[in-house]
Amino acid sequence: MQRHRATRLHYDLRLEAAGVLLSWAVPKGPTLDPDKKRLAVRVDDHSLDYFDYEGMIPHNATIRNNEHGGSDVIVWDWGTWQLGNGTDALAALEAGNLHFDLFGQKLGGRFVLVRRGRSGSRDQWFLMHKRDEAAVVGWDPEDYPRSVKTSRTNDEVRDALS
């Protein structure tokens, strides 16, 4: 999971499957609060090289035909994930209902991504945390702004590399 300040702050959820990072932009960030639904917009799969990318994306950089330049990125959380139901993540994704367990340094427990529809060319999903032992009502990702890779904030990455 990366915290990315581009045009707007968002978090990039990335799940490794089939040799790529399945990716969603989560504008308000993930939460452990089972009472909250978070919009998650499906974006292009990323190569495995993005797993631990932290730094500045240069101005006028084009990644996968989209301009992302001049933005800072930190590795906000990392860990492993496990499919929560079924045996095929891509089939669950195609069906629009992906249950998974996260084992990260900040995020843990059972999550679900449910497709809710389409806006323009992008599928929109809801990211939700299930009611389990890892659930925390009122949990806010902005209370944990530091990178798990370097302990830097987005501001510190920007200032160091500008």
CA quadruple 135, 136, 142, 148: dihedral sign: negative
Task: Categorize the per-residue pLDDT at 162 as very low, low, confident or very high, splitting at 50, 70 and 90.
Answer: low
In this prediction, what percent of the chain has a pLDDT beyond 90? 80
State pLDDT tens for residues 47-75.
999 899 999 987 655 444 444 456 999 99
Q: How many CB atoms lie within 10 A of CB 86?
A: 12
Query: CB under 8 Å, gap of 24 or more: what pairs does 84-90 form?
Result: 84/110, 84/111, 84/112, 89/15, 89/17, 89/18, 89/22, 90/17, 90/18
Q: What is the mean pLDDT of the chain?
A: 91
pTM above 0.95, yes or no: no
